[in-house]
Structures are given as structure tokens and as C-alpha cells.
Amino acid sequence: MPRLIFLGAPGSGKGTQASLIADFYSIPHVSTGEILRCAVLNQTPLGLQAKLYMDRGDLVPDQLVVALIQERLNNPDVKEGWILDGFPRNVAQAEFLDSLLSQIDQPYDYAVNLEVPDDVLAGRMLERGRSDDTEEVIRNRLKVYREQTSPLIDFYSKRKKLAVVNGDQIVEGVTVELRRLIER
Ligand code: AMP
């Protein structure tokens, strides 16, 4: 069963594809964004802290997200494979993840980058209309992505773990390419 890290800018379709692929292989879709949104809705202590950052389109502090992912990846249901969506988001998180995965003996297969041109990204985000999808917040999320998350492309490329998939095609087209990558 696959163990994949999904990279890609906000609006790249990473959440949609992560969910489809996780369903297809019946493995957990671990989305830090979803877990955080749920914590915000339930007004947990984590949610109350995270909301301030999410509303602005900034990254939630590493220490909060790292604790969350550590707990999630130690759950027995992820033993047979998983899709990580939205984590890591910066180099410090990627380094943490590397050491966590070797500690629990769960090496990942690939970090998949869904490539989508910049002008397509903003349009897609405005269409989906999530509460953190207003124009100003979108602009900040793209900036945060460029500054903090996009260096991960290099990070995984250097480790020979990067797989690039064209995300600028219909949903089914992307899914087919991903399944081909997993099954090769
Ligand atoms: P997403 O659903 O992946 O687009 O995430 C939505 C928001 O949750 C982001 O804009 C961040 O504020 C926060 N978030 C999700 N994952 C992380 C992470 N790994 N590190 C820090 N913040 C995160």
C-alpha cells in the first residue's frame, strides 16, 4: 500500500486527489488542514490557537502541527499506508517528518508535486469558496507557499524522492497519472 506525501500549491487539487487516491486504496487520508478545521469548529484549545493563523492564510506554528501529525501517525490505522496532504509545509516540518518516519519504520514512497500554473491556482481557489478563500487571504497563502513550502520540491528532489504530476488537467486525468505512478 502506498505511503505518499502530497505537495502542491493551494488550489493545485492536492486535497481532491489525496482523497480520491486514499479511497481507492482504502488507506487513511491525513490532511492537517482538515484536522485543524475540525479543531476550529469544535473550539478545542488547538482550534482556538490555530484559527488566528488560518484566517490570515499563515502557517500554524510548527510545534502545534508537529504534535498533531506525530499523534496521527502513531495510530494503528496508518500502519498499512497513508496519504499525507498538507504536511510538511516547510523544511523544518519535512526534517521532523523524516525522523518520525524512520523512528516508526514507515518509509514513504514519493513526495508528489502536483504542478499547476500560477494563474490557474487563484481562479480555482476563488471557485471553491472556503472561508479562508477570500482574495486577500488567497494572495497571502500563495506567498506563504512560494516562500516556505516550495523549497520542499528541492528537498525531496535531492533525496531522489520527488515525483512530478501535471495537475493542470481534468480530475480523472490526474488520478490516472497518480495511480500509474503508485503501481509502477
Ligand atoms: P490546507 O487545507 O492544507 O490548505 O490548510 C489550511 C490551513 O491550515 C493553512 O492555510 C494553514 O493555516 C493551516 N495548515 C495546514 N497544514 C499545515 C501545516 N503543515 N503547517 C502549518 N499550518 C498548516
Average pLDDT over the chain reads: 95
Q: Which of 111, 79, 112, 88 is nearest to 31 (CA)?
A: 88
What average pLDDT does range 102-126 have in this prediction?
A: 91
Per the model's pLDDT, the better-predicted residue between 95 and 128 turns out to be 95
**Dihedral, CA atoms, 139, 141, 143, 149, nearest 10 degrees?**
-160
What average pLDDT does range 142-150 have in this prediction?
A: 96
- Provide the pLDDT for residue 122: 80
Q: Give residues with Cβ within 8 angstroms of 154, minimum separation 6.
A: none
Mutate to test the pocket of ligand 1, among 30, 35, 89 (most ligand atoms within 8 A of CB): 89
What average pLDDT does range 164-173 have in this prediction?
A: 97
Q: How confident is the model at residue 138 (pLDDT cuts 50, 70, 90)?
A: confident
Mutate to test the pocket of ligand 1, among 6, 54, 91 (most ligand atoms within 8 A of CB): 54
Check if 60 has its Cβ closer than 6 Å to any atom of ligand 1: yes
Q: How confident is the model at residue 128 (pLDDT cuts 50, 70, 90)?
A: confident
Sheet holding 82-85, edge to edge: 29-31, 82-85, 3-7, 110-115, 162-166
Cell numbers standing for residue 19: 482523497
Cell numbers standing for residue 101: 518516519
Q: How confident is the model at residue 86 (pLDDT cuts 50, 70, 90)?
A: very high
pLDDT tens per residue, range 92-113: 999 999 999 999 999 999 999 9
Question: CA 72, 64, 59: angle at the middle one, nearest 5?
Answer: 110
In a 3-state reduction of DSSP, which class is residue 169? coil
Q: Give residues with Cβ within 8 angstroms of 81, minimum separation 6.
A: 1, 2, 3, 25, 27
Q: Is the pLDDT of residue 26 over 90?
A: yes
Mutate to test the pocket of ligand 1, among 19, 31, 32 (most ligand atoms within 8 A of CB): 32
- Provide the pLDDT for residue 108: 96
Protein residue with least CA distance to atom 8, ligand 1: 33
Check if 56 has its Cβ closer than 6 Å to any atom of ligand 1: no
pTM value?
Answer: 0.94
CA dist 6 and 110 (Å) reads 8
CA dist 56 and 78 (Å) reads 31
